[in-house]
Chain A
């Protein structure tokens, strides 16, 4: 367990725990999973610090709220947000621990939280609530975060130090067999561990979701029309009846699946298939290996 001062506690140094807000919603939607928003850029600071010394993002700008506003927010939050995020904002059914969210850590009086709540994100629906209610909820979330920063544990916390059970040598061996068709340690994954750590690295390793850093790695579709003409682009929408793509000029185009032929190249499918092959030891070994790619 860590005391409050055992880690790099400088304001402004926060590990890039990707905005865990993105996990809202008890029902995962593979098409719109995490990472749907851009990962916030974080200062790298002590990139070489041992994983165990890394801690949740700290509040960048300390803020004070009146007690009445926090209390009003407590009841509003419980009713509207509590199922997914927990009554204490420490995580609930499907939704992440907001006291460890990068969005909350960098929020100043709702400037990051409010737009997200109003528009929704990933599986989190938009909330149309009066501003006074929303600000009360912001006050409550910040207060909970302040309290969580002085507490140990945390209901849904997963620390980088928790994940250090793998063997990097075994992980490299596994990687060289299972992953090198698409990835290379010196290529696309160079410096990976300097960008992503801990739970986020594990999650991205298992299934990256969201738009890839390299657009060339997005799922591609080639549609052949009845007249033989072909249209290719990034796969943008797909259900049983409609296939949609974004072409090289940035235009969205859709086609009825019954009237065209199409082929989809979906690189992430390899990650889905790998989920059924990993043992837990494999998973931890590969994570250990990826952590060496700095």
Chain B
């Protein structure tokens, strides 16, 4: 029979054990600054967006010996598009309104959370974020959930934006100290572009950044445009304390005449103070976009030599088909050059922005435009390989036809466009010049896979057919492949118990590859 004292001791022991577990297992936000080899603690792997790993066990010489360590089948109708997060030996991976915790050693499910059915758009989900003992999940009806990382219990649930107005969410949140920063989507209605920060512990709103203001806002510089949604996860420079995020296309999408001017800050890269949401600078990759080309693609942060001087750079391969290099302290343009087929600009202005050709705006009789709506690239994570000096990008050479007439109106899409033809190709861009060092045909239309590079000179991605690929980063030659189904996410890598794993989403499953034991 237990004495009261024993009960107290047991209680105390359990309490201590609990604290120790939390202390040992909870994710220190500092991990995000220096990720360990056994983790992939944030959407891009670290704050830079380089999607590059220093792991060296798998090399060009042995990659063709990789064997399947495990597979995890989601049994969902939708492909895995999310970049998995890994901390403490646990993988967190999502599809729309679903989140799984999986043992990274065995592929065994630890728990699963399913959000109730909702009526918002259902198109895909990019991933989750972790901090302390919480996992942050966005839902398609634009809510932010914090779940207990141990068991998937919902701790809190707050609204990011009102889905009834046409907002939805696919976003993988960004954690910076005690901020959870999330963006939303919403192209089918004329909605102000919003990025919001919430207190990581409580979910209390902290700030909102408007890339475009609500219509009628005095002093607006958007020219009447709405949109500019920040639907992708940005990157962070802790020394400058700046959060870099790409903004979406303006709305109405194809109707340019109704929103004259540049439509700032749509189609832009903006640098924000993550503590206040204040904008330090902006660079517009697409002035007055009329083709659905957001600049939401990953702004990759690189400290490297630039024409003889070490500089703090920001690289972006943008949906409009242009590669940009900026000085990320000021937003000053250093390079603007196409990396995919384009025909929509007449040149580049003094600020490094492509100059849209008004004749390539959508017209009643149609205009043949490159790239098409899905762009020269898109959400697919690129990877920066520092040793080869290459930004490796899933590119797309494509043409579309674009129509607009006043009868299409001024709400939402407000026009029509159709892809004519597109070809997916992996391109290795020399970061200082934009020169293409090599291209690797993806055997089909636009790819769906992101890119991972490692320090041994390997590039992991997927083609547009059915294959996961490993290429030699220096020349793009193929070293390994496996027909696991179409890779729909960005591969990641980690090392556990001395063994390096490479994790791909293939179709509706996750596959972990490693060298034989």
Cβ-based interface call for B431 (8 A)? no
Contact with B along A139-172 (1 / 0, CB 8 A): 0000000000000111111100011110000000
Rounded to whole angstroms, the CA-CA distance of A64 and B266 in the bound complex is 44
Given A155-B412, A240-B478, A275-B399: A78 in contact with B365 (beta carbons within 8 A): no
As a 0/1 sequence over residues 324 to 360 of chain B, the CB contacts with chain A under 8 angstroms (1 = contact) are 0000000000000000010100000000000000010
> A166 vs B47: C-alpha distance in the bound complex, in angstroms?
52
**Residues in B neighbouring A240, C-beta threshold 8 A:** 441, 443, 463, 465, 467, 469, 478, 481
Which of these, A31, A152, A165, contacts B444 with CB under 8 Å? A31
- Cβ contact within 8 Å between B405 and A30: no
The residues of A that contact B416 with a CB separation of less than 8 Å are 91, 97, 155-158
Do B467 and A275 touch across chains, with their CB atoms under 8 A apart? no
Say whether B408 faces chain A, with CB atoms less than 8 Å apart: yes
30 contacts between A and B (CB under 8 A): A23-B418, A28-B372, A28-B398, A29-B464, A30-B422, A33-B421, A33-B445, A75-B119, A78-B120, A79-B140, A83-B122, A93-B413, A154-B408, A155-B412, A155-B416, A156-B408, A157-B416, A163-B366, A165-B365, A203-B420, A206-B399, A206-B420, A206-B421, A207-B421, A239-B443, A240-B478, A240-B481, A272-B421, A275-B370, A284-B365
Name, among B444, B478, B483, the residue most crowded by chain A CB atoms within 10 Å (CB to CB): B444
Q: Point out the residues of chain A lying under 8 angstroms from B119, CB to CB.
A: 75-76, 78-79
Report chain B residues within 8 Å CB of A30: 421-423, 444-445
A residues with CB within 8 A of B:
1, 23, 26-33, 75-76, 78-80, 82-83, 86-87, 91-94, 97, 125-128, 152-158, 162-165, 199, 202-203, 206-207, 209, 238-241, 271-272, 275-276, 278, 280, 283-284
Chain B CB count within 10 A is highest, among A31, A94, A127, A280, for: A280
B residues contacting A by CB (< 8 A) are 77-78, 117-123, 140, 166, 187-188, 292, 341, 343, 359, 364-368, 370, 372-374, 378, 398-401, 403, 405, 407-409, 412-416, 418-423, 441, 443-446, 448, 463-467, 469, 478, 481, 483
Residue among A76, A91, A165 with most chain B CB within 10 A:
A91
Complex interface: chain A residues within 8 A of B370 (CB) = 275-276
Of chain B, the residue at the smallest CB distance from A97 is: B416
Main secondary structure on B side of the interface with A: loop
Chain A residues within 8 Å of B405, by CB = 162
| B481, A241: Cβ atoms closer than 8 Å | yes
Kindly state the separation between the CA atoms of A128 and B120 in the bound complex, as whole angstroms: 18
CA of A157 to CA of B166, assembled, Å: 22
Say whether A91 contacts B421, CB under 8 Å: no
Provide the bound-state CA to CA distance between A30 and B465, in Å.
Answer: 11
CB–CB B366/A238 < 8 A = no
Closest Cβ of chain B to A1, distance in Å, is: 7
Residues on the B chain within 8 Å of A165, using CB: 365
Name the residue of chain B whose CB is nearest to the CB of A163: B365
Q: Which 5 A-B pairs have the closest CB atoms?
A: A153-B407, A28-B419, A29-B445, A239-B465, A156-B416
Complex: A238 Cα to B368 Cα, angstroms: 28
Find out whether the CB atom of A82 lies under 8 angstroms from the CB atom of B121. yes
Q: A78-B121, A153-B408, A153-B409 are in contact. Are A29 and B444 (CB under 8 A)?
A: yes
Whose C-beta in chain B lies nearest to the C-beta of A127?
Answer: B77
The reply to whether A271 and B419 form a contact with Cβ atoms under 8 Å apart is no
**Chain B residues, Cβ within 8 Å of A75:** 119
Chain A residues with Cβ below 8 Å from B122 are: 79-80, 83
Contacts of A153 in B (CB 8 A): 407-409
| A27-B421 Cα distance, complex, nearest whole Å | 10
Q: Which among B118, B367, B374, B444 is the interface contact of A94 at CB below 8 angstroms?
A: B374
Q: Is the CB of B368 within 8 A of A271?
A: no
State A76–B120 Cα separation when bound (angstroms). Answer: 9
> Which chain A positions have C-beta within 8 A of B419?
23, 28, 33, 94
Are A28 and B445 in touch, CB under 8 angstroms?
yes
Q: Do the beta carbons of B373 and A93 come within 8 Å of each other?
A: yes
**Complex formed: what's the CA distance from A161 to B368 in Å?**
18
CA distance A162 to B403 in the complex (A): 9
User: How many angstroms from the CA of A247 to the CA of B423 in the assembled complex?
Assistant: 27
Task: Give A29 to B120 CA distance when docked, in angstroms.
Answer: 26
B414 / chain A contacts, CB cutoff of 8 Å: 155
Other A-B pairs beyond A33-B421, A239-B466, 18, CB < 8 Å: A28-B398, A29-B464, A30-B423, A78-B119, A83-B122, A93-B187, A93-B373, A156-B416, A163-B365, A202-B401, A207-B420, A239-B443, A239-B465, A239-B467, A240-B443, A241-B483, A276-B370, A278-B368
- With the chains together, A163 CA to B367 CA distance in Å? 11
Which residue of the partner chain A has the closest CB to B446? A27
CA A125 – CA B481 in complex, angstroms?
25
**Contact (Cβ within 8 A) A27 B443:** no
Indicate which residue in A92, A128, A152, A238 contacts B188 across the interface (CB closer than 8 Å). Answer: A92
